[in-house]
Amino acid sequence: MTTNIEKRIPLGLKPGDCIGIVAPASPFEESDFFSGIQILENMGFRVTFPEGIFTRSGYLAGSDVDRAAQVNAAFADTAVQAIVCARGGYGSMQILPYLDYADIRRHPKLLMGFSDITALLCALYQRSGLVSCHGPVITTLNRVGLKTLESVFNVLTTTGLSAITLRNGIVLSPGKASGPVICGNLTTLCHLVGTPFQPNMHAHILIIEDQGEKPYRIDRMLTQMKLAGVFNGLLGLGIGAFENCGEMDEVFTIIARIFNPMHIPILAGFEIGHGADNIAVPFGCEAVLDADHLMLTNCFTSGLRP
């Protein structure tokens, strides 16, 4: 569950570069899929996807082996420069044992997704050292605002993090911390505990989001993770959207009770997750969380092409 693997930062895209779409989790509506493709094409990119991407197998987009093969093939394909997931939902954890992490490390490409895709982002970072992107999936691109689309374009073309200043930020614990960012869905992160793909959060900044979880379940997940030692050495905490999770004051009280004994900066109000906006954040990038000034800023050199 710990790793000293050297980080791999993908190169940013250029106009005309090709983005591959994969479906590692649940099936999806074709209308949303093609709307998302149109948005990426309007940004100046070409898009490709495998023939079997529309396969449905119950609540999954095909068999575990086939979904993993899509991901492996996209990383191995020299014509593809970045990868965007079609949808989250459920199923990413099932494909983790079938991914070729050594080959993925040899072909570093930015992979973007959120929600259930958190499992994939964690595994790629843990096993391949790959900096990826927590951001919209292809089928949500037509439902987010301009701010999110601008952040997606920025991360795709620079693999870097633009400064995020929270207009409605809430400081749950003051302070400032710097370290690599782990960003993802709380439920999915909790389900990785005890597996070989559990992320090592020591000396990291964590940003969490979720939807449809009652406060007591949020308490239970965070308590389990804390008792399991997952948060040992955590440097800072950001709180994204907790949609349909009850009163946010109650969620904040739970988070403060669990994390305040750690004396780390805690900043809420990030437009990240299942809300109206879902700002793209490079997963694994070096950043500074400044709770006092309501900011998350970049502190690493992005991998621009010459």
| CA–CA dist 62, 264 (Å, integer) | 42
Contacting residues for 305 by C-beta, under 8 A, at least 6 apart: 11, 12, 14
Cβ proximity of 136 and 156 under 8 Å: no
**How does strand 132-134 pair with strand 281-283?**
antiparallel
| CA–CA dist 8, 37 (Å, integer) | 27
Strand, helix or coil for residue 225: helix
Q: What is the set of active-site residues?
A: 115, 209, 274
Share in percent of the chain as helix, strand, coil (round to 5) = 35, 25, 40
- Residue 121 CA: distances (Å) to CA of 182, 189, 200: 9, 10, 13
Query: In the beta sheet, which residues pair with residue 112?
Result: 84, 133
